[in-house]
Amino acid sequence: MVEVRVKDLRGNLRKSWIDGASYMLMVGLGEHYLPAFVLAIGLGDVFSGWVATVPMLAGALIQLATPHLAEKVGSLRRWVVWTAALQAAVFVPLAWVALRGGAPAWVVFLLATAYWATGLATGPAWITWISTLVPKLVRARYFARRNRGLWVTFAVGFVAAGGLLEWSRAHGRELQAFALLFALAGLARCVSAYYLSQQDEPEPLPRGWRIVPNLELLRRWSSDHSGRLIACIFVVQIAVQTATPFLTAFMRTELQFSYTLYALLYATPYVARIVALDALGDLAHKQGVARTIWLGGLLFVPSLIAWMATDSVLLLILAQILAGVAFAAWELGTFLAFFDHVPEAERTSVYALYNVGLSTSMAVGSLAGGALLGLLGSDHTAYLWLFALSTLLRVAAVPLVARVRDGSRAPATES
C-alpha cells in the first residue's frame, strides 16, 4: 500500500472530520426529520415509521452495483464524491414537495429511496478508501473521537431544526420550515462532497482489488467466525427496529410533545454518544471490539422500559441516555469489526452486500412493528405492546451477542 506522508495525514484527517460533520448536519436537518415530515403532510403514523427503513432496503438493493460501477469509474474517491453530490440533489424535490403542501405516499417513498440509494452507494467505497488514510494503530481512538465531534454537529443541527419547526408551526408555516431545512441539508451535503474531493487517494483502487461474488460471501458468512458476527448484527437490528422508527409518531401523536421537546428527547441519545465515545474508543482499543459490541447489545435491552411505564420527561431523558450509550458502543464496535474481518481489497463488495442484509433486517423489523401497530389500532396501548415485543426480542438476542469474538485482523495491506 502506498504510504500517506505524515504531513498529509493530519490534513486528510482534518478534511475527513469536516466532511463527516457536514454529512451529520445533513442528517440532523434532513434525514431524521423525514418521519416528522410524513406526519406533517398527513401520511400517517405507520408510514412515518416505514419511511425511515423500507426505502433504505430498496436503496441497498440498488447500491449492490457499487463495486462494479466504482471499478468502471476507476477511483473510489471519484465515485464517493459523485454519489455524495447526487444525494445532496435529492433534497431539491423534497423541498419542492414541502412547498407545494405534500405529495402522494409513493412520491415520498421514491424520493426517500433515492436518498438512501445514493447514500448507501457512497458507503462501501468510502469504508475501503478511508482505511488507506487512517493508520490501523490509531483507528479505534480516531474514529471514536471523530464520531464524537460528528454527533455534536448532529445534535446542534437537530435541536435547532426542532426549534425552527416549533416556531413555524405556531405561525402557520410548518411546511415552509421543512422546505428550508431540506435546502440547508442539501447544502451541507454539498460541503461534505467538496471536502471528500480534497482528500488524498493513495491508490485509486486497492492493490489486488477483487469483487467477491455474493454466493461466495454468503458461504463465508455461514461457515466462519464472521458469520456469528453478521447473524448477531442482523438479529439485533430486527429487534431494535421493531420499535425505534415509531418513537417519532409516539411522541408527536400519543404524548403530544412539541417539536422542541421531541427534538430534545431525540437528540439526547446523540449527546450521550458524544460523552461516551472516548471511553468506548479506549475500551475497543484495550479490551477488543467484541467487548464493545457485547456492551451495546446488553444496554439495548432496558432502553424501552421507561417508554412503557411513564410520560415523565426526566425519566424518558434517562432512558434516551441509556439508548445513546448502547448505540454508541454497538455502532463503534460493529464498524471496527469490519476492519478486523474483511481484507481491504474485498471491502467494497463485501460492504455492499452487508448493506443489503443490514437494510433488510431493519426493514423486516419496522414492517413487523408497523403491521402490529396497524393491527392493534395505532393507539397508546398498541404502542405499549410494540415496545414490549421489541424488548423481548432484544432479550432473545443477548445469547447471540455473547458469542461474538474478536476476529483476526485483515491481511496487513493497510497503511
Answer whether residue 294 shows pLDDT above 80.
Answer: yes
- Rounded to whole angstroms, the Cα distance separating 370 from 325 reads 26
Residue with cell string 427496529: 241
How many Å apart are CA 34 and CA 96, to the nearest integer? 14
Task: List b or e across 149-159, with b for residues whose CB sees 16 or more CB atoms inside 10 angstroms.
Answer: bbbbbbbbbbb
Contact 87, 115 (CB under 8 A): yes
Residue 403 · residue 290 · CB < 8 Å:
no
- Hey, what's the cell of 62? 440498488
Q: What is the DSSP letter of 410?
A: P
Question: Going from the N-terminus, what domains does the chain have, and what CATH number goes with each?
Answer: 6-402 (1.20.1250.20)
CA atoms within 13 A on the CB side of 374: 13
Give me the chain's average pLDDT, please.
83
Identify the CA nearest to 272 among candidates 233, 330, 229.
Answer: 330
- Convert the pLDDT of each residue in 263-293 to its tens digit: 888 888 888 888 887 788 888 878 878 888 8
Quick one: pLDDT at residue 138? 73
Phi, psi for residue 271 in degrees, rounded to 5: -65, -40
Q: Show the cell assigned to 120.
A: 448507501
Q: Grid coordinates representing 108? A: 415520498
CA dihedral 120, 153, 52, 297 (to 10 degrees): 90
Cβ count within 10 A of residue 138: 13
Position 3 scores a pLDDT of 47
Distances 274 to 176, 241, 278 between C-alpha atoms, Å: 31, 22, 8
Amino acid letter at 172?
Answer: G
For residue 144 the three cell numbers come to 471514536
Q: Please state whether the predicted TM-score (pTM) of the whole model is above 0.75.
A: no
Contacts of 48 (CB under 8 A, 6+ apart): 35, 36, 38, 39, 245, 246, 248, 249
322 neighbors 299 (Cβ within 8 angstroms) = yes
Amino acid 27: pLDDT: 93
Q: Between vectors from CA 401 to CA 395 and to CA 402, what angle results, nearest 5°?
A: 100
Q: What phi and psi, each to the nearest 5 degrees, are found at residue 224?
A: -125, 180
Read off the amino acid at residue 362: M
280: left (phi over 0), alpha (psi -120 to 50) or beta: alpha
Please report the pLDDT score of residue 283 as a whole number: 85
Grid coordinates standing for 231? 447473524
Mean pLDDT in residue range 95-106: 91
Distance CA 234, CA 139 (A): 24
Q: How much is the pLDDT for 363? A: 84
The answer on pLDDT for 20 being more than 80 is yes
CB 333 within 8 A of CB 288: no
Question: pLDDT tier at 345 (50, 70, 90 boundaries)?
Answer: confident
Q: How far apart are CA 354 and CA 378, in angstroms?
A: 32
pLDDT in tens, 124-169: 888 888 878 877 777 777 777 787 788 888 888 988 998 899 899 8
pLDDT in tens, 358-389: 888 888 888 898 889 888 888 889 999 999 99
Render pLDDT for 205-228 as a digit per residue (tens, 0 to 9).
777 777 777 677 667 666 666 666
